[in-house]
Amino acid sequence: MLSGSVKRLSIDCKATVKIGEYSRGGLTRGDNQASDHDMGCKEKYVPCGIVDEDSAELRITFGSSYKTSDFIVDVLEAKWDALDEQEKAATSLMQIKVDNGPESSGRRTQFLHRMVQLADNINKPIQLLYYPPYHSKYNPIERCWGILELKWNGTKLIDAETMLEWAKKMTWKGLHPVVALSRQVYQKGISLGKAAMQAVEARLQRHPALPKYDILINPAPTP
């Protein structure tokens, strides 16, 4: 039986946000003029969101690079680092609901490698709970994305500052989100070799009945 509290988080990345004078599928605010399709957008951002199911705090990080396993885990690590020491000490388990997408699936070697590292760094067990195919809409973070779309629908997101300011204006359960911009450059396609992945797999406790959907990672014992 675990003592302390379970930190219940829901995480996912949203579709890439294109910067420019696009109508975004709605009536354009202001001058009623906007491009109706992509004319060669060069500036794009990947939103990664985490919602705390108990406190309702929502954090959205807009990445200027690629949607990768490393980006997702870095956002998770930043969420943990932002907690105060009392909350960290009281946490007995970090439970994460996550979409079974290609960058964060229960078979993605780099994602699992980084999650094992995170469990060791924070010295807390981490439980990954995945949604089965076609059920990711039930992940709480998905409802946050819907509210964001309604908030800035029709707005011309002409630069990063405009995008961030509109994101800050949305509310989730009465709270404004914590919004950040990441300029970290990420490399796509990183994967572990067979031997390295065997070492990672040895650290995973897959549920016997649901091995693809329920994975527990305990931190390495301290010497």
What's the token pair of residue 135? 């059920």
Model pLDDT for residues 160-215, shown as the tens digit of each residue: 999 999 999 999 999 999 999 999 999 999 999 999 999 999 999 999 999 999 99
How far apart CA 64 and CA 16 sit, in angstroms, is: 10
Q: pLDDT band for 1, please (50, 70, 90 cuts).
A: very low
CA separation for the pair 85, 126 (Å, rounded): 18
Task: Give the tens place of pLDDT for each residue, 136-153.
Answer: 888 999 999 999 999 988
pTM here? 0.89
As a whole number, the mean pLDDT across the chain is 90
For every residue of 78-144, DSSP letters joined together read HHHHHS-HHHHHHEEEEEEEE---TTT-TT-HHHHHHHHHHHHHHTS-EEEEEPPTT-GGGSHHHHH
Unique residue bearing structure tokens 């989100």: 177
- For residue 113, give every residue at least 6 positions away whose Cβ sits within 8 Å of its Cβ, in sequence order, or none: 192, 196, 197, 200
Query: What is the 8-class DSSP label of residue 211?
Result: T
